[in-house]
Structure 1
């Protein structure tokens, strides 16, 4: 099942769509905070404008890519993105005026459904509403440096979408990823070669900080950042989750 957040005219709705269907069933409320209850209205997918499937009420917490993923002593580190960095499918990534360049990475992300702390890996599935795609965009200054919050947290630095997949049978530890720029594939990593599973990342994040409903926990990746320029279109695809596509613009 896919959970969508979308706009029709001036109204924002939540809906669900089954695999292989083009019909979107509108829900009565936000399924993150209330039971999934159909409103009785059905729309065609082509008639809606997708938005970010979740606007985190608290935080986006990202596992930092390890310098050497194959070092047996490697440990997890994290950084935060503010919810003001979040955009949805087809929203533009806007290069900050101070940035010399920007780059993105395809990432798998968990959307948390319940307040939780100190999870074990076995408890993660009960705390996760579903899984989605994040394009982890970062900006660099002219000297090639990243400056923490500015690098990872500028407005539009966190595209999320195209929807949340709720599927207990999703093989999180062996998903195929791909990144493309202007329809040219530039990277095809697979999660099975990462030192930490997506569930391990969520559990580790919960050891550091309390996770709240709507929080997004972004798992690791092996791909190098994909450099993009103004007028490029970057697409992030994860097997079983779909494709997140965003144009890059300059101010």
Structure 2
């Protein structure tokens, strides 16, 4: 199932996506008889989705999704956790070996952004970069999870762009400020539930900037695989329902490349991961105070 959070310009709601159609919350309640909650996080993680999912064949998908603005699928996750240098090809292009344990960066939820929106970049940032990543949505609170049981903690997947100001990142020698700007975490366009993805470790992933392919890889190049990522993170911190884990980016970013072509005002970014849809954003450079 593809679960989307949307607004019609006045009211926020959520629903299921099928092709170019949407069944919104009111239709789901009407046709299934289940009074699902207003809050999408309650729906996803407090048992309501499990109650409704076997009745979704009754839905008619009455409206075009184009009537709505798509929002970040999870509105207020407790944590956004990103992995650095977790792809063999990306680490190699940086002259590094992938780390045996997850190299973690915490991104603030105020960075959340959505598809068909602007990535807002203050003009003092001179090296703005993209990172296509497969994001995992955590199903329930968990601690000290084994690798064997880790897949049971996954609700679903989505595309995540770990936008990064490389000049700030290189200056600070750590990643929080350079990755933490408002709007630097576009994600979506929806959540695809785990049962829809047969093998999350073998998905094609492509980034295009103004139509030019910049990243062309696969989640098969991930060094630490998803179950081990979850297991190792939960040995450090409790994961909570709705947390987002962004699992690293493949080769093709501009970081530390000679003659790097960084993002500029008006650039169009298109990211696609097999089975998860497409994430589209535009760079908007603004004058800083």
TM-score relative to the length of structure 1: 0.90
The alignment of Structure 1 onto Structure 2 pairs a total of residues equal to: 249
* Cα distance, 1:161–1:191 mapped onto 2, change above 3 Å: same
CA offsets 1:210-230 (integer angstroms, 9 cap, x no match): 111111001122224253111
Structure 2 match to 1:25: 23
Higher helix share: 2
2:249 counterpart of 1:237: no
Is the 1:63–1:201 contact (alpha carbons within 8 Å) kept by the matching residues of 2? no
Cross-structure match for 2:186: 159
- The Cα of 1:199 is off from its aligned counterpart by 2.5
Which one is further off, 203-212 or 231-240?
Answer: 203-212
Q: Return the alpha-carbon distance in structure 1 between the equivalents of residues 99 and 169 of structure 2.
A: 30
Tell me, in whole angstroms, the C-alpha distance in 1 between the residues paired with 2:98 and 2:105: 22
Q: Tell me which protein shows more strand as a share of its residues.
A: 1
Q: Tell me which residue corresponds to 2:31.
A: none
1:53 is matched with 73
Give 1:188's aligned residue: 216
Larger radius of gyration: 2
Deviation at 1:64, TM superposition (A): 1.1
| Closer/same/farther in 2, CA of residues 73 and 215 from structure 1, 3 Å limit | closer
Alignment correspondent of 1:105: 131
Deviations 1:164-197 (A, max 9, x none): 0014243111111100001111120112122211
1:218 aligns with 2:246: yes
Partner residue, 2:164: 138
Gaps of 5+ in 1: none
1:3 counterpart SS class: strand
In the TM superposition, 1:57-206 aligns within 5 A as 57-66=77-86, 68=91, 71=97, 74-141=100-167, 144-146=170-172, 148-168=175-195, 169-206=197-234
Unaligned runs of 5+ in 2: 26-35, 255-261
